[in-house]
Structure formats: structure tokens, C-alpha cells
A and B are shown apart, each in its own frame.
Chain A
């Protein structure tokens, strides 16, 4: 079975508890649809688990005649999964601006995603971890853009694997015409990191499903750097970094959204695996230095050696109740591997017909950020001075 699917990577660090849940994984999406016929694999040896990739997408598109006779699905109708995320919201904005009718799949929660509605998107409630909520949200959708990733505090298997499998199978069954999936660059090279492993397995699952799809592998978001480095430096708080020489080609999420939509409309990109990387790969130290230069002040850097991270991870792995923590620290393995998260974009640019000059560089992005934020702070100061006079 493993040979048929061509991929079975040992995943030693997922807790037994989670694994067993994965084995029991079986979703029923309503009686009328014979969607799932999951055949969970059996692990070969104790303590050496496999991701239940044995799911085969054998969902068939339900009664094609029904669909063809009904209202035709408009090619501008898009469902964005994970619309409240850093990337998701940019995709929603971009696609709204380009004239798409955007539907957002959002988990029901006390604080509703009002900003999506304010922009003109339609928000539907659904939860990937509750597969029965999915089908209704897919009615009348032409393309699914899936940029959902479980939050770090969530059990990773639930959303990122089970939820995605359910979504893909449902998409197949309901005749969704394109599925855009975001993965992580180099995810095939790091099976020890659960999230990357899951992304890789999802890629494979999607490719085997027969859905028309585009897989986009991403490296890093510039937006993440703001919270991580830029803000603490401005607030003169300590910045935490590692001494790992890993380099990441950060990219502006607005550019990612733009390229995604171009790729989505381009038939040549169908069933392709694209990697979106920024113009240059940066190490943590370089990013901090750049921020210091632009902010005009020195950062209070706390460097944590990668070895400490690895050690903590090893320690936390010893106990079942700290396994979640261990999973979360898994990326330290990648950090320790001196990987460069970057890819040549020349082919992608020529495929999509994009000029590389239009892609924002990290220098320009951070420069923009700092000039804007410093101006804003200045305004705030001026304002407070004014009120002082009044008082």
C-alpha cells in the first residue's frame, strides 16, 4: 500500500493519543454522498507512526447532471478558507478588488470577523474539524483558495490534516473546479516537523484526488517580521532570535495574493507546484540588523542558541503531557539544519507574466513600515502635546 501511494514517512513525534485519533478518523458527510472510504494504515512498529496518508480520495463528483442543469457556477465565485489569517485577509481583499465574489469560511467564534463583511465578502460559518459543516459552504463555488493553517496552540492533526482531507474530498464530490493550496517550501525535506509533514501529505493527497489544483509553496511572510522584530525594537523591548544560519526569502503577503490570483486565472498553472519566494533570503541576524538601521536604535537582542531549543524539545518529548510543546518546537530541527528557504522565481515569473520589479523587497517593505510608523508616532506625540497645552 505504501508503495502504491509512493509515500510513507515515519512521523515519530506525533503523540500516540493524536495518532490513534487519526486512525479512527472517519467522516461522514451525509448519507446521500458516499464521500469517504478511508482506509487507515497500520503503523509498522511501536513508537514509529505514520501519517494516515492511506486516505484515498475516492469521492466521485455527485450526479453531474444535477449540476449542469442548475444555475451555472460563476467563475468569479471564490471560497477562501482561513480568511482571517495574515495571508487569507490579503487574498480576500485582493480578490474582492479584482471583482470576485468572495465567500469566507470562518469558524464560528464569539468575536466575529466583521472586517471581512465590511470589505464586502460573504462570511459563512463552518469548521474544518467538523466535516458536516463543510458541504453547505461549497454550493455555487468555482474555486477554493485554502490558506488555512491551525493556530500553534491547536492540535495540528485536527485542522491541518483531517480537516483538509475532508475539505478536499468534499470539493471533489461537489465538483469544485479549482483548488488552490498553500504549502510550505521544503516541506518534503523535513518529515520530522509535523506541520511540514502534514502539508506534504496534503499535497500528495490533493494531487491524487484528481481535482484541478494549484499548489503554492511559501517561504515566509514579511508581515510576520513586524511583530517579531520591528515592533519590539521600536518599543525597546527585547528581541529574541536564534543563532541559526537558516535563511528565509520573506515575501509580502500582498504580493503572494496578487501572484496567486494571476496564477488562478492562468490555465498554464493548473496542476502545477509553484514556489513563491521573496527576492532574497535573510537570516535572523540580518533582519535584526536591518530593523536596527531603519529604526535608528539598537535592539536588545537575546540570542537563544539552537542547541537550547533542540534540548528543550528533546526534554519535552519525554513526557506525554508536554508533547504538544515538543510539536510546537519542532521547527528548531529545521533551524538547526542550515536550510535556505528560497527558490528561483524566474520560471514562475515567466509563467505568470509578472515583472520581478513589482515584487516588494524586504528592505523596501521595512523601510515603508518604519517611515510610516515613525510618522504616526510623531503625530501622536504632537497630538498629546497639543492636549497638554489645553490642559
Chain B
């Protein structure tokens, strides 16, 4: 007797809720075959036997007082759900037997409860002012929070690991936050995290003075986001940098010496930059070795002067600009030779006393198979000598036909002693002004020319006069610098305006040395020289981007940080140095015509147009 009753209750209640169950996508439980009917009955029996399950509530609701309307409704919703679930199961696979799970009254009750809750929530949501989001959080977050809908999201961020050197500095802290906001990190991929190298921890112990914020350090580190991979290290100690560089694609260097003690400046602003660059290049080289030397970031060796054999192919030539004039007339003489000395150096030396005369060293380039110079950005020469300046000439055009050859030249100045000189291809100018700009792809010959013209007054101890017409050039190697779209290394330097005037020269000297070592490194670089830093929110005032140390205003740390982030993936920022500060009205005679002002905002990418007009390779 009980079983049919139970069934009827279920059927009638499902009738009553017909429209509703339809609306949430359930099929109505009309048993069509004896088989399914039987199953429904089993189910009802099971639920009747249990106490407090959906089925019993359903019946109770029918008979009970109206007061329990809510509960009754719940039961009503529950009953058809059970039946529906079973029915769907039954009709889907009639042969399949019911598992114990399907008739488990507790499970059924729970499920029916869930369905009702969902229904009620939707209903109640209509009458509410604020709705809590109930959708799949992961999907929503993926699109709205971290995904493309977010104003901060940067598409390249996922594959980029950035090393922030000096993450606890005023700019560094904001840089780290901005990186995190832009998703420079993949949660599921442990190796791609932002790494932080905290600089100067050792120095704190050494110089625990009032000026040094040594004591605050643990707190400062606490302020960094926890998902950041923190590497403690000291830029002054190259050995500590290895682990920090591991796995990084890009570096933002915003560490700065915290005192103006010369040793400290040297350690952080010069050697620090140098050490980080070196570690980064070592890391790149290591990666390149894993890929059999084929890395887009490795330099191409054009010539290496390490043995007397390596001098083969280099020719020494002499000439003069006044070809119609006989040389003897001016009693001029010149001589030059390239030799491999006993001390293991390739020395190009000689003298040019002839007016308008020159001597040059030339070689046909033999590039390794598959490499062409158009994939490179410029030349890097490691040379020593007595500090003369030379003209580097590239010859392009068909090899066979010399009448069509085109010459491009660039001046290079050297220092006394060894130095590395970087000559970007973009600084080569055609000898014949009408020629098209240099196409590195067509270059086949390299020449280094010495001429007595335009030499600087000789350096060296006073009293020791050197004849500017003699020269000595020790060659170590010539390499081609790899090109790239983006910058690899962002260095935050300074304009020097905020520094105590008594120490300004020393500070700037150290900063400049750091900048120079970056420029010569062959890495894609961006050097940002902000005006005096202010601790205020960014994005409020227009900025001026300029070159040439003319700016006078200050700038907020947040704006500098924003420029760093934007420069990471901006091709116009590659190989540029620039000054930046708040907008101002220039003094008379110091016209604004070259200064560009841009208001930082989410919508506009202010950096690209601002930097596009600035000189490259500065």
C-alpha cells in the first residue's frame, strides 16, 4: 500500500512543478516503461524507509500545515529530481542495473537539496541588490582578473621571467608589484617566477650607520609579494648572482648605492651593473651551449686574434685622400704593419706622416654557414692601444664588380689600454652621401683605417708628448652583436639633479661607468635617467622624455616603475638612453621643440611615441 502512494505523491508533485523543472533543464519523470516505473518505486521505497529524506518531506508537505510552505516546496522540488535522475538513468541504459549509489537515500536527499538551493538562490537573487558571484570562479578569474579583460594584462607576461635587482628600493618595490599585477608569473609553472635579488645585505652589516636602512630589511622583504621568488645576494659579489640569474629572460636594475662613499658607488653603480650583465651573459651562453651555440642572444665571432694564423686574410693597405698629388712632394711617409707579437697580441701599428694619408687593415668576412649580418645589430671590438680614433668601414655590394661597391664608415674612438667599443650598424654612414643606408646583409669586407686627421690631443702623463700621427692598435676580437626586438636589460640611472653637489661628480662617474658597461655588453638595453624621485602616486602628470641632460623637474617613483614595465616589451625602447621627468616649461633658449610630453594612462601607450623620436644607441 505504501509504495503506490509514494509514487503518486512524487508524480503529482512533479506535475505541479512542471514548468520549473523544465526551466532548469531536467526531463520530467514520466515513467513510460514498466522497467522505469519499477525503478522509481524502488527509489521511493528506499527514501520512505529513511528518515528525513526528500521523499518523506514531500509527503509531509502535502499533508502538513501551510506554515511549512518553504519546507514543502523544498520537498516538492526534491521529489521530481530524484525521479528524474533515475528516469534519465533508466531510459539511457535500460539494461544497466542500479548501483547502490543511485538508491542511496542520503545521496538523493543531498542532491535534491542542492537542486532546490540552486533554484532558491536564483529566485532570491532577483530580489537582491548585490549578488555574490556564483559562477565558476576559475573561468571568471581567468578572463576578468588575470585574463585579457584586465586592463593590466600583458600578453607576453606569461613567458617572461624578470629579475628585479634592488627590489626593495623605492622604484623596485613598485616595479615588483606592477610585474605581479601584469601576470609575470605562471602559477602552475613553478620555474617561471619573478626573482628578486636583494642588494647590499652584506653591506648593511658592514656599514650599520643611521643612513643605512639595514635594520628595516626583514620588514622590507616582508613587504614583497609572497609568490615572488626572493634571492638574497649582493651585486658586488659575482658568485652570489648565479642563482639569481637562473631562468631569467629580462633584468630590471634599480639598485642604487645607499651612500655616496666612493667604494660603495663603485660597488653598486658600476661593478654591480657589470657583474649582473656578466652573469646574465654567462647564463645566456650556457643556454646557447645547450642548443649547440645557436642562440639568438649569442654574439657572432667575426675575427679573433689569438694566434699568428688568425692574422691570415688581413691586408694592410696605404693610401691618401689626395690621389692626384704625388706623395714625395710633401716628403710624407707612412708605414704600417700587422704582426703577432711574442706576448701573444695582434698589433696593428705604424705612423702616417703624409698629409691626407691613411693606412688601413681590411679583411673579407667569412661568416659561418647560415649566419648573415642582418640578424645582428652592430659590431663589438675589443681593442687596446694608445687611444687613437679609427674609422671602421664596411664594404657592401657584389664582390665581383667593384664599380658597384658601396662604402659605409663609422668613427670609433679608443682609450689608452684595453677597452671594448660598440658600433651599431645604424651609426654607419655612406661615404657617398647619395647611397642608400647600410644593409648589413650585403656587407662583405671590414676595414679599420687610421688617419692622422681629427685625432684628439694625446692622453697620458703631461710632459710626455706623443706624436698623434703614430698609432698602435692591439686587436683582441671583433664580434657582431645580436639584434632583437626587445630590451634585455633596463637600468635605472639618474640625472644627478638630486645629488648633493659635493658628491655629484663621483656619483655620476660611477653611474656612467655602469651605463657604459651595459652599452658595450651587447645586450639590448634601456637606460632610464629619471629626475629627482618623489614618493607620490603615478600617472597624474604628463612626462617629458628627453636626451641630453636638460631636464630639471622631478618625477614620481611610480611613473619610473611604469616606464620600466612598458619598456620591457617595447621595441622602440631597445638600445636607448633617455632622461625623463614631469612636464615643465623650458627656459628661454632651451626650447621645447625636442621635448615630448605624454600623460601616462591605461589607454594610451605613451612610451612608444615618446621614444620613437629619440636617438637610438645612445
Contacts and interface: CB of A to CB of B under 8 A. Distances in A.
A369 B557 CA distance: 33
Contact of A76 (B148, B227, B537, B559): B537
A5 interface: no
A228 B125 contact: yes
On chain A, which size bracket covers the interface?
A: 35 or more
A331 B132 contact: no
B136 A98 contact: no
Contact of B69 (A258, A304, A315): A315
A97 interface: yes
A378 interface: no
B144 A152 contact: no
B181 A331 contact: no
A238 B23 contact: yes
Contacts of A21: none
Residue from B126, B127, B537 whose CB has the most chain A CB atoms within 10 Å: B127
B590 interface: no
B326 interface: no
B132 A151 contact: yes
Contacts, number: 152
B77 interface: no
Contacts of B151: 254
B144 A309 contact: no
Interface in B574-601: 601
B177 to A, nearest CB: 3
Contacts of B144: 223, 226, 369
A86 B129 contact: no
Interface string B50-67: 000000000000000001
Contact of B226 (A117, A258, A300, A372): A117
Contacts of B134: 227
A19 interface: no
B330 interface: no
B131 A228 contact: yes
B321 interface: no
A184 interface: yes
A273 interface: no
Contacts of A98: 537-539, 558
Contacts of B149: 368-369, 372
Given A226-B144, A240-B122, A372-B143, A99 B24 contact: no
Contacts of A258: 602
A368 B125 CA distance: 25
Interface in A99-134: 99-100, 114-115, 117-120, 122
A114 B142 CA distance: 16
Interface residues of B, number: 60
Contacts of A265: 537, 540
Interface stretch (A205-213, A285-293, A322-330, A381-389): A322-330
A240 to B, nearest CB: 5
Residue from A99, A242, A328 whose CB has the most chain B CB atoms within 10 Å: A99
A272 interface: no
A303 B260 CA distance: 72
B130 A99 contact: no
A120 B225 contact: yes
Contact of A238 (B24, B180, B535, B601): B24
B133 interface: yes
Contacts of A376: 142-143, 147
B325 interface: no
A332 interface: yes
A185 B122 CA distance: 24
A328 B537 contact: no
Nearest to A195: B129
B548 interface: no
A96 B150 CA distance: 14
B133 to A, nearest CB: 4
B143 A119 contact: no
A300 B23 contact: yes
B131 A373 contact: no
Given A118-B227, A119-B181, A152 B603 contact: no
Contact of A240 (B123, B147, B223, B225): B123
Interface string B500-540: 00000000000000000000000000000000000111111
Given A119-B181, A240-B122, A372-B148, A227 B131 contact: yes
Ranked 4 nearest A-B pairs via Cβ: A99-B558, A120-B177, A329-B127, A332-B127
Given A76-B535, A96-B181, A330-B127, 20 more contacts: A96-B178, A117-B226, A118-B225, A152-B131, A195-B129, A223-B144, A226-B135, A226-B140, A227-B135, A228-B131, A231-B140, A237-B24, A240-B123, A300-B23, A309-B127, A322-B70, A332-B126, A334-B129, A372-B147, A376-B147
